[in-house]
Chains A and B, each alone.
Chain A
Amino acid sequence: MTLYQYLALATLVFCIGLFGVLTRRNAVAVLIAIELMFNSVNLLLVAFTRYISPDGLVGQLFAVFIIVIAAAETTVGMAIVLLVYRGFRGIQVDRIGFLKW
């Protein structure tokens, strides 16, 4: 497999994630889509490290960091979603307009 195939796959996953973020109304689904975008980036990091500097482990290290941070981020996000649900009796993002003017 070549680098380009990895890049294409990562781009595809990123676009699917972006699409999910922009189109899903369920906040939990949005969080899941964000996870997809994280993972496409992780894929890129690992792929670039493998093909550009195979002796180092910098990319893998960053990928592990991102996975940890993503887990923490998802936890915070889920907490917010729960709180929103308590306040609004629902988590549809298009209905939550309290940032509106």
Chain B
Amino acid sequence: MSQYAYLVPFWPLLGFLIIAFWANRHHQFAAKLATTMIGISWVMSLVILWETLHAEQPLEMTFTWMALPSMLTKAGWTLSMGVLVDPLSALMISFVTTVSLMVHIFSLGYMHGEKYFSRFFEFLNLFTFSMLGLVLVNNYFGLFIFWELVGLTSYLLIGFYYEKWTASQAAKKAFITTRTGDLGMAIGLLIMWTTAGTLQFNEVFAAVDSGVLSGTTLTVMALFLFGGAVGKSAQFPLHVWLPDAMEGPTPVSALIHAATMVVAGVYLVARSMPVYMASEAASMVVASIGLITALMAGSIGLVQNDIKRVLAYSTVSQLGYMIMALGLGSLFAGTFHMFTHAFFKALLFLGSGSVIHALHTNDIQEMGGLGRKMKITFWTWVIASLSIAGIPPLSGFWSKDEIVATAAHHPVFLVGTLVVAFMTAFYMFRLTFLVFFGEPRDHHKYDHAHESPLVMTGPLMFLAVLSVVAGFWGMPWLSHGFGHFITSGQGEHHTPSILLMAVATLVALCGIGLAYQMYYKKAWSPDALAARFQGLYRILYNKYYFDELYDVVFIRPYYVLCDLLWTFDMLVIDGLVNLAGWLGLAVAVMHNWFDKYIVDGLVNGSGYMFRGLGRSLRFVQSGRVQNYTFLVAFGLLLLVIVQIDLLTLLTRLFESTP
């Protein structure tokens, strides 16, 4: 089956095309078609994963896409395309299709009755296609193409409710912010192309191994490449788009922000591990950015009131975790957390979707006591929360343990990791207690709440099972577990440390306990705490003022620049154009005057002259015979008087000369 891996992205693409061109008006058919297509991809990718588990070595299929004869200095170049099925891509396609399938099924219920029901599924299919292509392609160029496709489709999905001002703004923000990172990535690819002369994964890594690509060039290239990951994976300082992207429909948040688009950056770094391993400085930057992001986003998540925004910051924070683990050199920890996180974060997002579907509000201050009414949503939510908080033996515990173990050698990172773990546990259970426990704060909304239909709770339950069991694959005691698989059996097996596990679990329990005290028992008032640390609270509540900062630093100067350019256009460019127009007009006026008075004057003047002549001469023609006769007689008399000898004159005239 692995040799047919290129068919995995093909099915969603087919679904997209059919819906886009033929089934746009058949909502139910379009939705079922899209879900079926993802289902086929899902089955295929599971088979591929199974085969890869037992495969000796990765399967790569390449063909020459473009070949050009010698252009500049090089003796021609070729651009190849192909499919790479190795443990990493097999893992990626399997969980991408799993989450995508669950989101599709969930959306059948959640989006029911939407005006643009079929368009939603159309975009979902296109998005899944882009993501699958991104992880399957075997070179950086193809990766970049699909990378941009993912960016485009995320824009379409975030701006799905484009009539809503905030949604369209959020879509633009996501698109432009990620594009900023992509610019860095493009520069990185250009450096790669000019130095190594290839964009194929294995050839680039070979160039790194052989030292063709090394030193400062390598570091700079790796950092530029990381720029793309920073944008896509919402890392500091380009994280601002992700929380705003919650304006999209909730299933979109689950798909984009849990399992697919945002892990594209993590995938990029994981895929380029040989590059980052070769540069100490680059990997240190990657790890630091990851930690900063994790701490910053986690702390913001502590105080937000929008259920989806809390989850969004949680996602950013967990992505920071993954990036940090990769930066610290552990492919195992980074990808394993990405794998488990996909399930429990998708579950959390879909669970929040179920809650929002029931209450029609995002504000956790208006929720409460829902555990009694929405049993399935409640229990799956608790499982996911325990998992993300890192309580054994759920999946989040095992992956987080790997990250802690990776960070154990660096004191700063170890402390940071534990702080993030504490914050994660706290804000997740703050949500849990506020939403599902206690007394309802808004009775009107509470009375109308009801459990969601099976089509929505089904995916929740399925993901809950995965959230529980997915972690066992990566238990540190297994000699042929996840770590062995993802690194193709090349080590990274460390002795499990019971102490670290205990510490991590204890930290998580502390976080849960604090949330329990504050929001369930109400032993400590959160309001009092907020009042006490007012400055800190305000900074966190306003997300460290990043939006305001960017507004002042980038957006406003940009507007000013636009204004300046506009003014320049208006005054100088338009002025020149108008001046040319005026000059042309002036010349035309002069020409007109010349034609009218000189040329026409000559023509008319000759006419006038002859008319005047005729007018004066016509008085001779009086029409009176007597006048004429008088003139004849007078003339004759004149001749007689001056004695002209007419006869002689005439005779002489006709005389032949002697």
Contacts and interface: CB of A to CB of B under 8 A. Distances in A.
B623 A93 contact: no
A22 B625 CA distance: 9
Secondary structure of the B side of the interface? helix
Contacts of B626: 21-23, 30, 93-94
A100 to B, nearest CB: 3
Contact of A93 (B618, B625, B630): B625
Interface in A1-42: 18, 21-23, 30
Contact of A22 (B621, B622, B629): B629
A51 interface: no
Interface in B618-646: 618, 621-626, 629-630, 633
B449 to A, nearest CB: 112
A17 to B, nearest CB: 11
B635 to A, nearest CB: 13
Contacts of B629: 21-22
Contacts of A99: 621, 623, 625
Interface in A49-101: 93-94, 97-101
A75 B430 CA distance: 144
Contacts of B624: 93-94, 97, 100
Contacts of B625: 93, 99
Contacts of B621: 99-101
Contacts, number: 28
A21 B627 CA distance: 10
A89 to B, nearest CB: 18
Interface string B603-625: 00000000000000010011111
B611 to A, nearest CB: 13
Contacts of A100: 621-624
A100 B626 CA distance: 13
Contacts of A94: 624, 626
A22 B633 contact: yes
A101 B618 contact: yes
Contacts of A97: 622-624
B633 A18 contact: yes
A100 B624 CA distance: 8
A101 B633 CA distance: 23
A93 B630 CA distance: 14
Nearest to B637: A18
A70 B593 CA distance: 68
A1 B625 CA distance: 38
A62 to B, nearest CB: 19
A23 to B, nearest CB: 8
A22 B626 CA distance: 5
A22 B636 CA distance: 14
A73 to B, nearest CB: 15
A99 B624 CA distance: 8
Contacts of A18: 633
A98 B630 contact: no
Contacts of A22: 626, 629-630, 633
Q: What 7 pairs between A and B have smallest CB-CB spacing? A: A100-B623, A99-B623, A97-B623, A101-B618, A101-B621, A22-B630, A22-B626
10 contacts: A18-B633, A22-B626, A23-B626, A93-B625, A94-B624, A94-B626, A97-B623, A99-B621, A101-B618, A101-B621
Interface of A: 18, 21-23, 30, 93-94, 97-101
